A and B are shown apart, each in its own frame.
Chain A
Amino acid sequence: MSLIHKTAAELGALIASGQASAAEVAEAHLDRIEQVEPKVRAFLHVDREVTLEQARAVDERIRQGEKLGPLAGVPIAHKDIFATRDMPTTAASKILEGWRPPYDATVTARLRKAGLVILGKTNLDEFAMGSSTENSAYHATHNPWDLTRVPGGSSGGSSAAVAAYQAPLSTGTDTGGSIRQPAAVTGIVGMKPTYGGSSRYGLIAFASSLDTPGPFARNVMDAALLHAAFSGHDPMDSTSIDAAVPDVVEAASNADIAGMRIGVVKEFGGEGYQQGVLNRFHDAVELLESLGAKVVELSCPSFTTALPAYYLIAPSECSSNLARFDAMRYGLRVGDDGTRSAEEVMALTRAAGFGPEVKRRIMLGTYALSSGYYDAYYGQAQKVRTLISRDFEAAFHQVDVLISPTTPTTAFPIGERADDPMAMYLADLCTIPSNLSGNAAMSVPIGLADEDNLPVGLQIMAPVLGDDRCYRVGAAVEKALESRWGGPLLKEAPAL
Chain B
Amino acid sequence: MSAITRDEVAHLARLSRLAISDDELDHYATQLDDIIAAVAKVAEVAAEDVPPSSHALPLTNVFRADEVRQSLTPELALSGAPAVEDDRFRVPRILGEEA
CB-CB under 8 A from B36, the residues of chain A are 364, 367
Q: Which residues of A contact B94 (CB under 8 A)?
A: 341-343
Select B40's contact among A210, A308, A341, A438, beta carbons within 8 Å: A308
In residues 42-99 of chain B, which contact A (Cβ within 8 Å)?
Answer: 42-45, 47, 50-57, 59, 61-62, 64, 72, 76-77, 79-83, 89, 91-94, 96
Query: In the assembled complex, which residues on chain B have CB atoms less than 8 Å from the CB atom of A382?
Result: 52-54
Complex contact B35–A421 (CB within 8 A): yes
Q: Which of B19, B51, B79, B92 has the most CB of A within 10 A?
A: B92
CB distance from B47 to the nearest CB of A (A): 4
The SS class assigned to the A binding surface is helix
Which residues from A are CB-within-8-Å of B17? Answer: 323, 326, 343, 346-347, 350
Segment 1-58 of B: residues with Cβ below 8 Å from A: 4, 8-9, 12-20, 28, 31-32, 34-36, 38-45, 47, 50-57
B-side contacts of A275, CB under 8 Å: none
When each residue 333-355 of chain A gets 1 if its CB lies under 8 Å from chain B and 0 otherwise, what string results? 10010101111111110110010
- B19 to A: closest C-beta gap in Å: 4
Contact B32 A360 (CB under 8 A): yes
Q: Which residues of B contact A100 (CB under 8 A)?
A: 79-80
> Total contacts A to B, CB within 8 angstroms?
177
Q: Which residues of A contact B41 (CB under 8 A)?
A: 305, 308
Residues of B with C-beta under 8 A to A379: 52
Could you tell me how many residues of chain A have their Cβ less than 8 Å away from some Cβ of chain B?
A: 72
| Given A305-B41, A351-B19, A381-B42, A331 contacting B82 (CB threshold 8 A) | yes
Interface segment, one of A66-74, A115-123, A234-242: A234-242
In whole angstroms, what is the CA distance A103 to B79 when docked?
11
Partner pick for B50 among A312, A366, A386, CB 8 A cutoff: A386
A312 touches B39 (CB 8 A): yes
Q: Chain B contacts of A327 at CB under 8 A?
A: 82
Whether the pair A333, B53 counts as a contact (CB closer than 8 A) is no
**Partner pick for A436 among B51, B56, B89, CB 8 A cutoff:** B56
Kindly state whether residue A359 has any CB partner on chain B within 8 Å. yes
Chain B residues lying within 8 Å of A99, measured Cβ to Cβ, are: 80
Please name the residue on chain B nearest to A103 by beta carbon.
Answer: B72
**What 1/0 mask marks residues of chain A from 437 to 455 whose CB sits below 8 Å from any chain B CB?**
1110000000000000000
Inter-subunit contact A342/B45 (CB<8 Å): no
List the B residue with the shortest CB-CB distance to A358.
B18
Asked whether A385 lies within 8 Å of B31 as measured between CB atoms, the reply is no
Residues of B near A376 (CB, < 8 A) are 40, 43
Interface centre among A101, A323, A327, A364 (most CB of B within 10 A): A364
With a cutoff of 8 Å between Cβ atoms, the chain B residues found around residue A354 in the complex are 18
Quick check: is A193 within 8 A (CB to CB) of the other chain?
no
Contact partner of A363 (CB less than 8 A), chosen from B28, B43, B55, B76, is B28
Q: Is the CB of B52 within 8 A of A341?
A: no
Q: Does A258 contact B (CB under 8 A)?
A: no
Contacts A235-B64, A239-B59; A342 near B92 (Cβ below 8 A): yes
Bound-state Cα–Cα, A323 to B93, Å: 19
A308 touches B89 (CB 8 A): no
Question: Is A311 positioned at the interface, with any CB of B under 8 Å from its CB?
Answer: yes
- The residue of chain B having its C-beta at the shortest distance from the C-beta of A85 within the complex is B76
A302-B72 in contact (CB<8A): no
Q: Is the CB of A384 within 8 A of B42?
A: yes
B18 pairs with A363, CB closer than 8 A? yes
Contact of A377 among B28, B31, B39, B76 (CB under 8 A): B39
Do residues A209 and B93 form an inter-chain contact, with CB atoms below 8 A? no
CB-based contact A341/B32 at 8 Å: no
Enumerate the 8 nearest inter-chain pairs by beta-carbon distance, A residue then B residue, closest first. Answer: A438-B56, A330-B80, A382-B52, A333-B82, A383-B47, A102-B76, A347-B19, A351-B19
A-B contact pairs, 29 of them (CB 8 A): A100-B80, A102-B72, A102-B79, A103-B76, A235-B64, A241-B57, A308-B38, A308-B39, A326-B17, A329-B80, A329-B81, A332-B82, A338-B92, A347-B14, A360-B32, A367-B4, A367-B8, A367-B32, A377-B40, A384-B45, A385-B52, A386-B52, A387-B50, A421-B34, A422-B34, A422-B35, A437-B56, A438-B55, A438-B57
- 11 other contacts beyond A305-B42, A351-B20, with CB at 8 A cut-off? A100-B80, A195-B57, A238-B59, A305-B45, A308-B42, A336-B82, A336-B83, A380-B45, A383-B45, A386-B50, A438-B56
